[in-house]
Structure formats: structure tokens, C-alpha cells
Structure 1
């Protein structure tokens, strides 16, 4: 009788281990403190729309939908504040966040802290308030530390990882950011539109224009939709760095026709106009 019992125990133990291994291999599902499935769906959709496709207007609606499904969703509310173009609304949201009595988990606090500092920065710029000289460097160091901590705990959270790599670019430059993008992203994440387009952006930042345009072509083929702004902005930003201003203008104008609220497209348009004025002034 001993042997069958040992055999049964062995089978049960092996079965449990297989279940644990299977569970650990599955991607984590992080909720950012949302208590409603619809809230987290629209929160993730907001990130996807803005980072993958450059659809700022639709992204704003998605983040607002997330909060409408869960009024206690503090991280979601912070993203509404980050996305809005209404200065008064952003000021009000930051005040609400500062006065909130809702407790958030430690990992949620990592994201919330960075987003609230971002709101403070945006509000100061909108009100022409001069911040402390160390504000920006302190903000970037906090963002680097918080995002790094978060993505090492939650490596499958792609869009926070995207934010982290953008911060690395701001601090250390495109070469470090490009290496980090390749090293930190999973095989699945490398296929996400943001990481493809951002690798093209970083390649163009280091002067590898031919490679950047090749990646942009691949990205455009993957998107395969003329109504999505991001491919136009990607091409436009690369051509701008190449001083091909006519091509840059054409692509950026197409993006702004699709979504006038695309902040980066607006900035690229201003940069193009500035360069054109310099050229006209030299004629």
C-alpha cells in the first residue's frame, strides 16, 4: 500500500508545480487600483490610443470613460488631468488629487507621484509661473526611480515601460534609450506599435536616418490605416530632423487634420515654421 500512496502524492505534487509554473508564465494583469473591469479596460485603451496610434482626442475620451466607471480610480483621474488641454480643469484635478483621502497601493503611488508632478509642471507653464531651478531635474530623477521600480515589479505593463524609456531619453539621450528599449522589452512588447515607432524616432535622433525611415515604413505597413495619425507624425519628425521641410510639413499637416489635439504634432509644426522663417529671412 505504501507505493500507491507515494505515487499519488508525487502526482499531486507534480501537478501543483505544473500549475504554478503555468501561472508564473502568464502575463500579470495589473489594475492600477481600479475596482471595475470597464475602468481598467478604458484606462489601458487610453494608453494604447495615445502612444500606439497618436489619437489624442480618443485617448482623452477613454481615460474619462475609465473614471466614469470608477469614481475612486485615482490613477485614472490623474491621467485625465495629464491629457486635458483645459488648464482650469487640470488645476482642479491636481487640487482634488492633493486633497484626496483615498488610499492607494504602494505601486500605484509610484505612478501617481510622477503624474502629479507632471500636472504641476503643466500648470506652471500654463500660468507662466517660474518653477524652482531644480524642479525639472528632480522631476526626471523621480520619474526614473519610480518607473524603474514599477517595471521591474510589473514587466508586462508595456505603457509604463514606454514612459520609462522616454524618461531615459530625456536624461541620458537617445543612444541609452535605444539600448534600453531593445534590452527591456519582451518579445511580445517589441511588436507593440509604440516601441516600433519610438525605435525609429531614436534612430533618427542619433542620425541613422536611413534605418529610421526603414523602421517607419515597417510601422506604416503594420498600422495599414490612413486615418491613424501616428505614421504621419513619425515620418514628419524624421524628415524634420533631415531638414526635408516640405515632406515634414506634408506629413505633420496630415496628422493634424486627423487629430488637431495631437500635442507633439503641434510642436513639430511650430519647429517647421521656425525653420522656414529662418530660411526666408536668409533669402
Structure 2
């Protein structure tokens, strides 16, 4: 769930080289590591709620339900560092996040290799959020270290465990932040299996990337598929995607209505709340310009 970053040109690699490396690594690892990783816990019920938390936030767009699931996962295995770090990432309580960061940072050497790869990125994300909560700007160098580590570690994990759905999703988000929409979309199509590409995140994110690339018809087609897959009205991802499509048509009022519905349904949906503020500001600016 990385924020967009403007990074120096020197960080951008050639798209073809990136994709060839990703494809080669994925092909080599598929047969050896086709199983689902344990993510650092031997408690099956904890792992179930951990994955449920990811499903809720990335596929369904339900942030409150996601936090509930992550907290259940941690309660079922209180010693699980990666599980606890997800509470640190999703909580809006600065003091709780600071406490969790200090605890996890002191215990991180106890994590196994795979868990540590993921935990290290989560710790940098928590540290970044703590700084924002304290009003301390995150330096460009700190942001660069975080996204570079995320690209490296999430990419390695995704290639080692192709069956993982959600750290692969985060990897694609970071590819987007660093290398742009074209690389992210091509990587999504290469790295995600046919089954994964039917999950809510991959449908919605592919559509958003198509929008950014100017392919509105493709985005609208993916939106229809997402509507079919997530027909429960409590699922909020379809509304967010439609809002982005309306924004691409400069239909800010219609986009605003949809985003308002998302925030009303889930006041913890931080992406929707941020988008709501930006849309309202854009509408106000339009009104001022027309005066």
C-alpha cells in the first residue's frame, strides 16, 4: 500500500530488462516453491486470519474488517512478529504503532529468513507512518530506501512463492510507484497467475493502470468483471474503481458521490478519505475558476 513517489531518473531501469528478469526468476521457481508459505507462523488459524486481513483490504476494499482480521491473527499467535507488524501498519493510533515498532525492531533477529524479508519492509513502513504522525518529514533518501527494499524483498518473496497473492500485490504496487504504470501492468500480467488475475485486487489495480495509460475501454471492461466477482454490496473496491473511471472523464461530482459512499460505509478507508479530500478540493477550485 505504498504512496506514490517522484523518484530520480537514475532509479528507473529499462522495462524489458526488468520483465525478463522477473519472468526468468518466476519460471525457475514455480515448480520448486508452488506451495503457500507459512509467513512465519505454525498456527493455521492465525495464518487464516492474516490472509483474511489481506483479502479484506486489497480484494474487497474493507479496511475495518481487515483490521479486525489482522488483530485476530495476532491474538491467535502473540509471538508472531509479521502478524503483529500488520497491526502496526493498519492502526491509526500513533502510540500503539510506536510501541509495536519498538517491540518488533528489538525482536526482528528472531524471525526466520522469509518472515524477516517481509518484516523489514513493514518496519520501514511503520517508521515512515510514525514520522508523519509526529509531523516529521520523511527524507527523500528514507523514502528511497524503503521503496527499494520493498521492491527487492517483496519481489524475491513473490518469485520464491508464486502462490502468494498479497505480497505479490504489494510488489506490483511498488513497481508502479518506482517504475510507472507500464512496467507495473506488464509485471502484473507476467507474475500473476490466471487465477490471481481474477481476484479483486488484480482486477481493480489492472484497471487503474489501464486508466493511467489512457486505455479507458479496457478499464471499464475490467470494472464489469469486478462487479461480477464482488457482487456483495458491502465490498467497496468496485465503487473505488468506478470513482477513478469517473475522474478520468472529469466527472468529479459523480466520482465524489461514489467516494462519499465508500467513506460512509467504512470511515477507516484511508485511501477513500484521501481521495475524498482531493476531489472536494478540485470541485471547489473549479467553482472558483468559474466565478
TM score, norm. by length of structure 2: 0.86
Structure 1, unpaired ranges of 5+: 1-23
Cα distance per residue 1:134-158 (max 9 Å; x no partner)? 1111111111011111111111101
Partner of 1:157: 164
Superposed displacement of residue 171, structure 1 = 0.2
The answer to whether structure 1 residue 188 and structure 2 residue 214 are counterparts is no
Cα distance per residue 1:233-267 (max 9 Å; x no partner)? 11112212331111101111111121111111111
Partner of 2:150: 143
Q: Distance in 1 between matches of 2:205 and 2:73?
A: 26
Partner of 2:173: 166
RMSD over aligned CA atoms reads 1.6
Partner of 2:205: 198
Q: 1:101 to 1:213 in 2, by over 3 A?
A: closer
Report matched runs for 1:83-94 at 5 Å.
83-94=90-101
Partner of 1:218: 225
Pick from 258, 269, 272 the counterpart of residue 265 of structure 2.
Answer: 258
Q: How many residues align?
A: 261
The answer to whether structure 1 residue 270 and structure 2 residue 277 are counterparts is yes
The answer to whether structure 1 residue 126 and structure 2 residue 133 are counterparts is yes
**C-alpha contact 1:148 1:164 (8 A) present in aligned 2:** yes
**C-alpha contact 2:34 2:161 (8 A) present in aligned 1:** no
Q: Which has the higher contact order (CA 8 A, sep 6+)?
A: 2
Task: Using the TM superposition, name which of 222-231 and 261-270 deviates more.
Answer: 222-231
Partner of 2:286: 279
Cα distance per residue 1:109-143 (max 9 Å; x no partner)? 11000000000111111111123331111111111
Other structure's SS at 2:110 match: coil
Other structure's SS at 2:37 match: coil
Partner of 2:185: 178
